[in-house]
Amino acid sequence: MSEGVTPRSQDYSAWYIEVIQRAQLVDYGPVKGTMVIRPYGYALWEHIQKQLDMRFKATGHENAYFPMFIPYSFIQKEAEHVEGFSPELALVTHAGGKKLEEPLVVRPTSETIINHMYAQWVKSYRDLPILINQWANVVRWELRTRPFLRTSEFLWQEGHTAHATAGEAEEETLRMLDVYTDFAINEAAIPVVPGRKSNIEKFAGAVRSYTIEAMMGDGKALQSGTSHNLGQNFARAFETRYLNQQGELEYVWQTSWGVSTRMVGGIIMTHGDDKGLILPPRLAPVQAVIVPIWNRDEEKPAVREKVAQVEAMLRDVGVRVKSDLSEQETAGWKFNEWEMRGVPLRIEIGPKDVAKDAVVFARRDRPGKEGKQFGIPTAETGATAVQWLEDIQASLLKRATEFRDANIVDVRDATEFREAIAANKWARVWWAGSDAQERELKEETGATLRCYPVEQPGGTGICFLTGGEAREVALFGRAY
């Protein structure tokens, strides 16, 4: 692991694949398009889960679980839904040695099967709202795959709620968009742009889709989480109705929203450098690694004793710490290894540090001498580590925000648009084009309308493409 990886500037795709394998996050599964998430990668996902789950429960949601096998007829009930997902469906046609009377879909998303259950559970306005989330795996048969970013099977959470009014459903949709935005910015240190999807980019079967869009280190966009207002589309397809306070039957109004293991890929590509991963401290499986250094065997006992003391002090202040006591490799090799794995803080302890009753700190986000401090008193190790980790978290967000803002270009005409997209930047434009024109731009430049940002300048402007009056600003960019 001491060898380097392909520089990002040379081949960003190769860099990404090498890093996720060398950092032991993931490996390829035996079925094309699948991945094996290794313990270190899964630990990162667990911290993502923990932070999101806490937010879901704080907003009144409960976890449940629904079957992964869905009757094919369910998928067919909502026309736009089946059209949108048909190319990606995995079907089970045989089971128990026999051909099934009806094919089963391996869960691509759960709106249909959950509506089947909600139609049985909802009878009266007293049964509403239903606020349910599930943590699950889903299968979407992808032709071109890349671990974490786009795989045939991935892990995610999907929230599904039912409400008595359209206003409540829209409020819920935006509330969860805010939850995702808060998580991405404050935990993952990813400065996402929340916004509304265009008509052709929205979820199949939704009335409106909202998204958090993140800019990766190569300038491409990554849709990092979505929240959908489903209106009454699925309720009508599944007869999910309730008696209102006037004794009249009404269809419920619904939402669905999700974040997947794609977020892991987003963290890697937002923060990583040519030395490997850089993990935001709040999500890092290991926040601090202690590397002991000795040259002679007689130095070992005192150094190891100091390592144990410092490790205990860090645990006492809530730092996730690991001591690398292996003796097969040199200290320099270990430095490179833990840099590759993105551990935010490295603590070095050698005989001279023992003599001074001090330690050495090195931060992952600032390589070399700039990020290193000698002579930190042992007694101050816990408090200093907490302070450094918070500073690293803030520094990563600041750096990613500055990179994003430097790579968003305000575009006034088609020539500037093409130049921005060709340079792998995001184009910020006044937009009043049609769905057909949006598709033509995608065909011509490879850029998609990522979102209409929630934060709008107000007023009106001139559409860069049509020259007509535009009421909203949109972001275009190439995406993963």
pLDDT tens string 234-265: 999 999 999 999 999 999 999 999 999 999 99
Among the listed residues 81, 144, 150, the one whose alpha carbon sits nearest the alpha carbon of residue 113: 81
Rounded CA separation 189/392 (Å): 10
Q: What percent of the chain has pLDDT over 70?
A: 99
pLDDT of 116-142, one tens digit each?
Answer: 999 999 999 999 999 999 999 999 998
Interval 1-9 mean pLDDT? 79
> What's the pLDDT band for 3 if we cut at 50, 70, 90?
low
> What's the pLDDT band for 2 if we cut at 50, 70, 90?
very low
Interval 383-389 mean pLDDT? 98
Q: Residue 21 is encoded by which pair of tokens?
A: 């394998």
Interval 333-345 mean pLDDT? 97
State residue 258's pLDDT score: 98
pLDDT of 410-438, one tens digit each?
Answer: 999 999 999 999 999 999 999 999 999 99
Amino acid at 410: D
Q: Judging by beta carbons within 10 Å of its beta carbon (0-12, 13-18, 19+), is residue 173 exposed, middle or buried? A: buried
- Indicate the average pLDDT of the chain: 96
State residue 76's pLDDT score: 87
**Strand (E) or helix (H) holding 238:** helix 233-238
Interval 82-86 mean pLDDT? 76
State residue 143's pLDDT score: 81
> What's the pLDDT band for 80 if we cut at 50, 70, 90?
confident
Rounded CA separation 333/250 (Å): 66
How crowded is residue 455: how many other Cβ atoms within 10 Å of its Cβ? 9
Show the domains of the chain with their CATH numbers: 12-271 (3.30.930.10), 288-388 (3.40.50.800), 408-477 (3.30.110.30)
Phi first, then psi, for residue 329 (nearest 5°) are -125, 160
pLDDT over 90 (residue 49): yes
State residue 398's pLDDT score: 98
pLDDT of 164-223, one tens digit each?
Answer: 999 999 999 999 999 999 999 999 999 999 999 999 999 988 999 999 999 999 999 999
Rounded CA separation 426/447 (Å): 9
pLDDT over 50 (residue 443): yes
Asked if the bond preceding 129 is cis, omega within 30° of 0, the reply is: yes
Q: What percent of the chain has pLDDT over 90?
A: 94
Interval 20-46 mean pLDDT? 96
| Beta strands 345-349; 288-292: pairing state | parallel
State residue 368's pLDDT score: 87
pLDDT over 80 (residue 78): no
* Residue linked to tokens 């032991």: 24
| Beta strands 426-431; 408-410: pairing state | parallel
> Which range is least confidently modeled, 83-92, 186-195, 353-362, 453-462?
83-92
Point out which residues pair with 70 in neighbouring strands. 105
Q: Residue 186 is encoded by which pair of tokens?
A: 């404050």
- Give whole-number Cα distances, 127 to 158, 244, 408, in Å: 21, 10, 46
* Angle 171-174-176 from CA coordinates, rounded to 5°: 110
State residue 84's pLDDT score: 72
Rounded CA separation 478/480 (Å): 7
Asked if the bond preceding 191 is cis, omega within 30° of 0, the reply is: no
Contact 70, 105 (CB under 8 A): yes
Which residues 6+ apart lie within 8 Å of 346 measured at CB?
Answer: 288, 289, 290, 291, 335, 338, 339, 361, 362, 363, 364
Among the listed residues 479, 456, 452, 476, the one whose alpha carbon sits nearest the alpha carbon of residue 196: 452
State how far Cα 327 lies from the chain centre: 36
> What's the pLDDT band for 86 if we cut at 50, 70, 90?
confident
Alpha-helix residue ranges (DSSP H) falling in 102-165: 111-121
Q: Residue 470 is encoded by which pair of tokens?
A: 């535009």
pLDDT over 50 (residue 1): no
pLDDT over 90 (residue 367): no
Q: Residue 200 is encoded by which pair of tokens?
A: 């052709």
Q: Roughly what angle, to the nearest 10 degrees, separates helices 262-271 and 39-58?
A: 110
* Residue linked to tokens 């349910």: 132
Interval 5-12 mean pLDDT? 96
Contact 324, 290 (CB under 8 A): yes
State residue 142's pLDDT score: 85
> What's the pLDDT band for 459 if we cut at 50, 70, 90?
very high
